[in-house]
Structure 1
Amino acid sequence: MDSYQAFEVTEMDDGSFSQAVVTKAVPSLKEGHVLVKVDYSAINYKDALSSTGNKGVTREYPHVPGIDAAGVVMASSTSEFTEGQPVVVTGHDLGMNTDGGYGQVIQVPASWVHVLPEGFSTRDAAVLGTAGITASLCIDKLLMTGIGPESGPVLVTGATGGVGSMAIALLASMGFEVHAFSGKPDQYEALKALGVKQIFGREELSESSKRPMLKGRWAAAIDTVGGVPLENVLKSLLPQGTAAICGLVASPALDMTVFPFILRGINLVGVDSAEVPSSKKAAMWDFMAEHAAILKKYESWVAPIELQQLPEYIDRILKGGVAGRTLVKVS
């Protein structure tokens, strides 16, 4: 390959941003790097921000977004990888300030690249991607604090999003009783089919309460929204409960007392899937491989699209109109 196709975002002279599929030259291989021919990527909220010119995500344009990339090795400057080997890259700086998975070719440091677990296709890896890694890290945090299926129900907020829906599928496969917080009634039946036992609508957790603690309902929670819903969740955890947080769709702010922490002994743990050590990320891929059966159950939550359809779906995810995972067929 001398050239490849990529979905590129360009900053215009008037400060606006344009999006187009363009042809780019395949770069020369750098020392310590790997060239990957990308088969699939996915749409994450961070991709939508990068694609619309958010300088908090991507500083310089033109730029190719895509924080997920699954494909095969084209060339490697290290002996760790061989040509044709199926691999996946998620997080780090991919798709932020390093051209990402919306291009048919990426060049990344070898330390960012993971060989796919046996039995995983590049499509499987992209469906899971950052959402699967993040959900797995959240579950790992729950397990580390002693939460198990016997502890009680686990609430997942932002349940129809990529991380939320993936967390539900994984938790249900592990035998947890899963509850969901969602503002999308049209997705309730789909959530139940994924393994949810009880659903709470947006009105039930979105109103701020002056009470320092609420009735204990959940042994644990995986939260993707932050803000008032997270405050209410923390106030409603059972003694020794844990909330793993990874998002801020509602708000990055918390306004509450320390009483749930010191009177019920609850835990609030944060999850970062971008800069997590490579060894931990590899362990999460192994964890997902152990629960690979969820992929068949999750298939109805996957919407495949082509590079040319990205503008439409980027607009949808920014407006909250996407459920599950949007899979981008790149090559």
Structure 2
Amino acid sequence: ERARVKGDWLVPLPQGMSPHDAMAVGTAGYTAMLCVIALERHGIVPERGPVVVTGAAGGVGSVAVSILSSLGYHIVASTGRSAESSYLTDLGASEVISRDELAQPAKPLAKERWAGGVDAVGSHTLANVLSMTSYGGAVAACGLAGGMDLPTSVAPFILRGVCLLGIDSVMAPKTVRMEAWRRIGTDLDLQKLANLSTTIGFDGIIDAAHDIVEGKVRGRVVVDM
């Protein structure tokens, strides 16, 4: 349970958060916070309108829904697992939609449905999210669960002024990482974090990995070494 690493890699544990909490947040939750900060900096505040979260039952999505809910956003949660609807509403989602609504090839522009979004899926899903983002809105993109391609057009960017905000969690400067973890400490409800995470033993890793690949895991999994 100890590691020797470069000091520059390390960020202090936020006050009031246990090491277990920090691992429940993990890279996924930290990335979700980076997305929220990027949207805020672009002026996507709750008053601007709804925010969509794709892959909402996954690691990034679950934490994003929880944080955005704590900050007062109206959240449209997109998931391929209808059975997780109550889980997502418990985390703070205002609406739950099927990922099928966003999985087909996108029109250049579609009806405006949200002011911003957090996307961990990519491909057709991100293309649809962009086409449905309202004038002057922004989408934070951080994942590729649905593919690395982006089959979209320039229409959302040049006709609605939509911005695509790229989120990188690996090479972010230390000041950015420090701010993200500080915000996690203040804006993430620890009870919701407990509800979206499960703990397994070291001997459960292989089974959990299969479940993740098959899309059977929701939220976060913490390994007790």
TM-score by length of 2: 0.97
Equivalent residue for 1:263?
159
Matched ranges for 1:219-230 at <5 A: 219-230=115-126
Bigger Cα displacement from structure 2, 277-286 vs 163-172: 277-286
1:252 to 145, 148, 152: 148
State whether structure 2 residue 89 is matched by structure 1 residue 192. yes
The residue identity in structure 1 corresponding to 2:198 is A
Q: 2:193 aligned with 1:306, yes or no?
A: no
Q: Counterpart in 2 of 1:138?
A: 35
> CA separation in 1, counterparts of 2:151 and 2:199?
40
Check if 1:120 corresponds to 2:17: yes
Question: Larger radius of gyration, structure 1 or 2?
Answer: 1
Query: 2: CA distance between counterparts of 1:317 and 1:284?
Result: 26
Q: Look up the match of 2:218.
A: 323
Distance 1:166 1:297 in 2: 9
Q: How far 1:322 sits from its partner (Å)?
A: 0.6
Once the two structures are superposed, what CA deviation does each residue of 1:289-323 show, in whole Å capped at 9, x if it has no partner?
Answer: 1124x111232221101111111101111111110
**Partner SS state of residue 106, structure 1:** coil
> For the residues of structure 2 that align with 1:212 and 1:302, how far apart are their CA atoms?
38
Over the aligned positions, Cα root-mean-square deviation in angstroms equals 1.0
Q: TM-score, normalised by structure 1?
A: 0.67
Q: Which protein, 1 or 2, shows the higher relative CO under an 8 Å CA cutoff with sep ≥ 6?
A: 2
Unmatched tracts of structure 1, length 5 or more: 1-103
More strand by share: 1
What residue number does 1:278 align with? 174
- What is the identity, as a one-letter code, of the residue corresponding to 1:137? L
Deviation at 1:202, TM superposition (A): 2.2
Superposed CA offset, 1:10-61 (max 9, x none): xxxxxxxxxxxxxxxxxxxxxxxxxxxxxxxxxxxxxxxxxxxxxxxxxxxx
Q: Distance in 1 between matches of 2:222 and 2:208?
A: 10
Give, in whole Å, the separation in 2 of the partners of 1:310 and 1:256. Answer: 37
Indicate whether 1:106 and 2:37 are aligned.
no
Structure (1/2) with the larger helix percentage? 2
Partner AA of 2:99 in structure 1: R
Please give the secondary structure, in 2, of the residue aligned with 1:229. helix
Tell whether 2:104 aligns with 1:207: yes
Residue in 2 that maps onto 1:27: none
1:161 and 1:183 mapped to 2: Cα distance?
Answer: 10
SS of aligned partner of 1:108:
coil
- Identity rate, percent: 38
Shift of 1:114: 1.5
Gaps in structure 2 of 5+ consecutive residues = none
Say which SS state the counterpart of residue 158 (structure 1) adopts: coil
